[in-house]
Amino acid sequence: MDGSQGNDGVDKEELDEKYPHRPHNHSNTLPFHDLFLTLFNPLNDNKKKPTGPIMARRKQGPHGSANRSPHEIRRNIIERFISRWRKEVGNDIYPAFRLIVPEKDRDRPMYGLKEKAIGKLLVKTMKIDKNSEDGFNLLNWKLPSQSTASRMAGDFAGRCFEIISKRPMRTSVGELTVGEVNEMLDKLAAAQREEHQLPIFETFYEQMNPEELLWLIRIILRQMKVGATEKTFFDVWHPDAEALFNVSSSLRRVCWELYDPSVRLESDDTGITLMQCFQPQLAQFQMHSFERMVEKMRPAEEDDTFWVEEKMDGERMQLHMMEDSSILGGKRFGFWSRKAKDYTYLYGNGFQDENGALTRHIKDAFNPAVHNIILDGEMITWDPEQDAMVPFGTLKTAAISEQRNPFSTGQRPLFRVFDCLYLNGEPITSYTLRDRRRALEASVHSVPRRLEILEFTEAHDFAEIEPLLRKVVAEASEGLILKNPRSMYRLNERNDDWLKVKPEYMTEFGESLDCIVIGGYYGSGKRGGRLSSFLCGLKVDQRQIDKGANPMKCYSFFKVGGGFTAMDYANVRHHTDGKWKDWDSKRPPTEFIELAGGHLQHERPDVWIRPDDSVVVSVKAASVTPTDSFRMGLTLRFPRFKKLRTDRDWTTALSIQGFLDLKANVEKEQKEKEFTVDDGRKRARTTRKKELRVAGGDQIFTTPYAGPETRLFEGLKFFIITDAAKPEKKSKAELEQLVKTNGGQIFQTHTAFKDTICIAERRTVKVASLQKAGDQDIIRPSWIFDCIKQNQADGERPRFVLPVEPSHIFSATEAFQEHAASNVDEYGDSYARDVSVEELREIFGKMPAISPSPSDVSKLKEQLRQQSTELRESRGWMFTDLVIYLDKSGLSQTDHSYSQEKELSLASDRKLQLASNYIRFGDGKITDDLQDIPLTHVIVGDDRSRLKQIRQEIKDKSALPRIVTVDWVETSWQEETLLDEERFAPV
């Protein structure tokens, strides 16, 4: 029989030992094409049928109406397929389910292939020119096809089907079985390099027709869209299938332990289990009003309490702990994300795991009476220096940093626990939240800034929500979660017992911003082939115009794609049709649009439009946040389209200064502002499946994006022997991908070519063998990172590979070491690359300290000034010999109380602080004593309230200092010469 077990690299004996009662098929698996001919296509046809009684349906058969609901038809299609499988193949349906619901298959690693990579493989497989129409359409699948007949824009698999259909190797369906396809997909998942992936794709291409390949690509991308969810498949397979998947996240267990529908799970088997990842309970989206949300908490007359927790901006995580004498410390840990990704390697498997970013810090977190436990919580990033939470997206970096240096003061992972689901051998999900909380507090002790129990507030009335929401938004938090303390924990459910209250759903940063559309992005999926999101900008002000900017020029500010109805898109098309131009990255329209990143052109659109041809859109958002992706340096968080402003054009759209003024006013009034749920425009909620963003990754099989393609290493051969730990952690496969992306070739031996570059930073058996031979130079991976970093920093300059430095060498011959030493100075400073701040500190640390006397310094400066008029007039000498007092208010910058007088004083202080920087740079001396003997100048800001007092204090000095405004410093700096003080005397 073929590979019907789909054992993805696991030995048959090992599977038999782990699953002794698993079913075995009596025949080969069904042909692969039967999946779409008898299952996928009928399900999709059913999805397209009208669902309501719009027309009278024709009666079928002798017994009256044969009309059935789409749900009934769906179940019937699946039942027929499963019944046929049992009859013709056997009771092991796991091989088929791996292809039917591939997104739920946790046993097969990720392929590391996205649309663009598959497109490149298909271009090479079919031997078509990448610059031809079909090659372009494959590699630019989101854009409308160059052929007007195409309707597949945004549907990558559909676009592939179109192009493969023009040059198929087979027109009829192939003979590959489900089992054989699984075996080939296992090989594809293990193939991390293009040269290994390409032969597998060529085999698929030779043995499948275009429709088979279409479904194969959807399986690889795990984007099936077959008109039925995994819940429907599970329900038809076995009544307990969904329950088992919820507690185990294992498709294999669902198929092998529940192959007999007549045998039900025992109650013990439907509960969560130690070291088995479960599907957690999720919070429901918020309703229209706080009052309605509290009603959903089902308050009783004798108990109307609901709980309010802060919503964390992190990664949902479950912690499992059990006794295990084989682990140092006696306890084994497991960590899984909401998507069932195993992060134990990142956070630690025991108290003494040296690679654990968390477990070695939480030895005191558990009551000694706790033998095993499962906790539910959120893994966030904490910055000890700011003592504040850092936005999600930095978690993996923080965890890796903590792995390397557990005693650093840098960012670290912090586990905030809010639920206990298993304790000392007993699942407690059926207990109320109130009881589970008691168990949590008795079992776990907070370890500050490592593992903490999340606090909650007891509330009884919906009016208590608003001030709590106001508080967390002021602290830049995610929002709130309302919880029913009388509720049990429901696996893999999103119900009204937990409700989200997030600021991005609220009228927050003003009601709306009216911004000009300057670019567009083509969508995918149902939005394919048309513009689905837009780049909006802020027009320049008179200041930029005076410097030569086109009055129509706009700075990129944000992208918006949410909130549009089909009518809204049609309206935008109506006003802009025929006015869009393709974005040419070699000749960008800088006269009209300025993007971030200079030549890198961050967030460049697919098409652009002149502001005088464009439309103004009214947009609302949750908040404003700093960014490097847009030219403004700021962007809107969660922007949503409100309406098209047909009464406005580019001349009346929001300008740069107009926005900055608005931002300042909003921040000033934020404390007085009342939160209100936005009821201005309601539409049906659509849930969009988000791309998985993980805090750690599968380091064996994942081939991540390795940066922009370059030819930096073109002509060089590499043998990557080990992974990299510094300056960033990358697996061997990731390093190989990095080299390939930048033009290098990868070999698995140092003897393939004479000049093969060996890369390693650990002494493995292979490395030790090369070292013993004594004739092979071994370079650290840091050299690769430095080359790429310098290449990016050089921008448009000619590309070159950095010479090797002593810090790059892991092991080398004496001659090579001498050569490397010639590439740095005596302190290790590189002649060829830009060193980092940390490296510069190390270099300075190696230099002998030189401490000349003040008189020596003074003498040297005088000699230099006498010898060079140009030097004397430079900014670095501008304030030499001046002793200056800056009249600052002394007010605290952290005091947020507001008054007009205080605002003036703080603004004045900010200008004086800038002047202080100029003075120090110009060799001036700052004093805080008005009675300082050599005092030459007193600088006052816009706040002149202390001017009279200052004059009184200095009136008795033998030599009076000049009193000037801060403009004297700023204007002198701009003119690069010291100006006459009389013109800057304060009034």
Enumerate the active-site residues: 311
Contact 721, 764 (CB under 8 A): yes
Contact 602, 628 (CB under 8 A): yes
Amino acid making up residue 608: W
* Paired residues of 745 in beta bridges: 717
Q: What's the gap between Cα 462 and its chain centre?
A: 34
Contact 29, 84 (CB under 8 A): no
Whole-number Cα distances in Å, 402 to 27, 181, 333, 336, 975: 52, 42, 17, 19, 49
Amino acid making up residue 18: K
**129, HSE (Cβ side, Cα atoms, 13 Å):** 3
413 DSSP assignment = E
Give helix 900-921 / helix 966-975 axis angle, nearest 10°: 40
**Could you give the residue ranges of the DSSP H alpha helices within 64-207?**
70-88, 94-100, 115-125, 133-139, 156-164, 178-190, 194-207
Residue with tokens 């006498």: 866
Number of other CB atoms surrounding residue 184 within 10 Å: 18
Closest CA to 425 of 363, 375, 374: 374
- Residues near 126 by beta carbon (within 8 Å), at least 6 away in sequence: 163, 164, 167, 205
Q: How far apart are the C-alpha atoms of 742 and 749, rounded to whole Å?
A: 20
Q: How far apart are the C-alpha atoms of 875 and 500, rounded to whole Å?
A: 56
Q: How far apart are the C-alpha atoms of 348 and 329, rounded to whole Å?
A: 12
**642 three-state secondary structure:** strand
Q: How far apart are the C-alpha atoms of 510 and 982, rounded to whole Å?
A: 46
Contact 848, 891 (CB under 8 A): no
Residue with tokens 């185990």: 248
Residue with tokens 């995610």: 478
By the 10 Å C-beta count (0-12 exposed, 13-18 middle, 19+ buried), 972 is classed as buried
Q: How far apart are the C-alpha atoms of 807 and 785, rounded to whole Å?
A: 13
- The secondary element (H helix, E strand) that includes residue 594 is strand 593-594
Compute the C-alpha angle 607/609/611, nearest 5°.
155
Q: How far apart are the C-alpha atoms of 350 and 327, rounded to whole Å?
A: 6
Number of other CB atoms surrounding residue 325 within 10 Å: 8
Closest CA to 306 of 464, 471, 482, 440: 482
**181 three-state secondary structure:** helix
Residue with tokens 């009675």: 931
What single string gives the DSSP state of each residue in 934-952? Answer: T--EEEE-S--TTHHHHHH
By the 10 Å C-beta count (0-12 exposed, 13-18 middle, 19+ buried), 62 is classed as exposed
Residue with tokens 């007193």: 938
Largest CA distance in the chain: 120
By the 10 Å C-beta count (0-12 exposed, 13-18 middle, 19+ buried), 402 is classed as buried
Residue 456 token pair = 């909650």
Q: How far apart are the C-alpha atoms of 259 and 95, rounded to whole Å?
A: 13
Q: How far apart are the C-alpha atoms of 100 and 40, rounded to whole Å?
A: 8
Closest CA to 277 of 214, 198, 342: 342
